[in-house]
Structure 1
Amino acid sequence: MSAQRLTLWQGGARAREYLISSAANGLGEIGGSGKTPRGAHIIRARIGSGLPQGAVLRARRWTGELWSPALAAAQPGRDWILSRILWLSGTEIGRNRLGCVDTFRRYIYLHGTPDVAALGTPASHGCIRMRCADIIELFDLVNSRTQVELHA
């Protein structure tokens, strides 16, 4: 994902564009690789509706915490998943669906990250990181089954 941007298309027109961060390990579909999978996907689940901005999610559930610099300092190195999750599922059997390449079973999300995190360069553990305000906006604009294309 060399451009490190997410574009939302509506009615054939570019509606929004967001700065993102894909995997530090690059692109790839194999489970356990820490890479961002490529190809055609859909949003399989939308998680976090109504949560406050900065809500900390773990195992797709709100922990009751709100991200803060103090919380981050107490847990250095934690891969923060904040505000909303758009959980992806591959649609291409053998490429990003089923077997060892299954995006959904790899828990690949579009999700919020602390606003202090650098975006625009690969840094995630496989997911697509976005600013919290951006993932909340995108979450409100898309539905389950929305098509997503991930490419370099």
Structure 2
Amino acid sequence: MKLRVSIERQTLMLFNDAGRLLRRYPVSTAALGAGEVRGSYQTPRGRHIVRAKIGAGVPAGAVFKARRWTGEICTAEAYAAQPERDWILSRILWLSGCEVGRNRLGQVDTMRRYIYLHGTPDQIELGRPSSHGCVRMRNSDIIELFDLVPCGTEVEIVEHEPV
């Protein structure tokens, strides 16, 4: 299995080991574009792996803070009361960079930046950049993806699709 996130197309694609496209999901990457530096609130590019999977068995819409379920479920009312909150819901696939100096170690370390693939409230529009650096997905999509990919799965984040 391999994942590719296209910042340009705001999609995440799941491929099997033979390179066949299995799934395509709409996503939302960073509102501030692509970039690797800590504190930039940008989505890091390059080769990554899924380092950790967090949230197995929690309900859809479960709210995470510091990678722990708070016991809350995000409802339409909860979202309406705090629309500015950076909601991390349902499941977390925590990414780790593979390219030293680009997205691993020092000021460009994806894992130390806490960059995830994660669920987001249903009210948030996907298909356009709006996150704080992570890759946001529909709750049903991240739950499906979580169950399909193991830790160690390759994740390539590209700014522009190859022609």
Q: TM-score range by the shorter chain?
A: over 0.9
Question: Residue 103 of structure 2 is aligned with which of 96, 99, 104?
Answer: 96
How many angstroms does 1:86 deviate by?
A: 0.1
For residues 8-27 of structure 1, what are the structure 2 equivalents within 5 Å?
Answer: 8-11=14-17, 12-27=19-34
How many angstroms does 1:74 deviate by?
A: 2.7
* Aligned-partner residue type, residue 119 of structure 2: G
Alignment TM-score, normalising by the size of structure 1: 0.98
Tell me the secondary structure at the aligned position of residue 137 of structure 1. Answer: helix
- Contiguous gaps of at least 5 residues in structure 2: 1-6
How many angstroms does 1:73 deviate by?
A: 2.7
Tell me the secondary structure at the aligned position of residue 93 of structure 2. Answer: strand
Poorly superposed stretches of 4+, deviation over 6 Å = none
Q: Deviations over 1:21-64 (max 9, x none)?
A: 00000000000000000000000000000010000011000000
- Kindly indicate whether the alpha-carbon contact (under 8 Å) linking 2:28 and 2:135 is maintained by their aligned counterparts in 1: yes
2:39 match: 32
Is 1:4 the counterpart of 2:20 in the alignment?
Answer: no
Aligned residues: 152
* Aligned-partner residue type, residue 12 of structure 2: L
How many angstroms does 1:112 deviate by?
A: 0.1
Is 1:133 the counterpart of 2:160 in the alignment?
Answer: no
1:110 match: 117
* Aligned-partner residue type, residue 11 of structure 2: R
Over the residues paired in the alignment, what is the CA RMSD in angstroms?
A: 0.7
* Aligned-partner residue type, residue 95 of structure 1: R
Mapped partners of 1:74, 1:117: distance in 2: 14
- Kindly indicate whether the alpha-carbon contact (under 8 Å) linking 2:49 and 2:154 is maintained by their aligned counterparts in 1: yes
For residues 52-131 of structure 1, what are the structure 2 equivalents within 5 Å?
Answer: 52-131=59-138
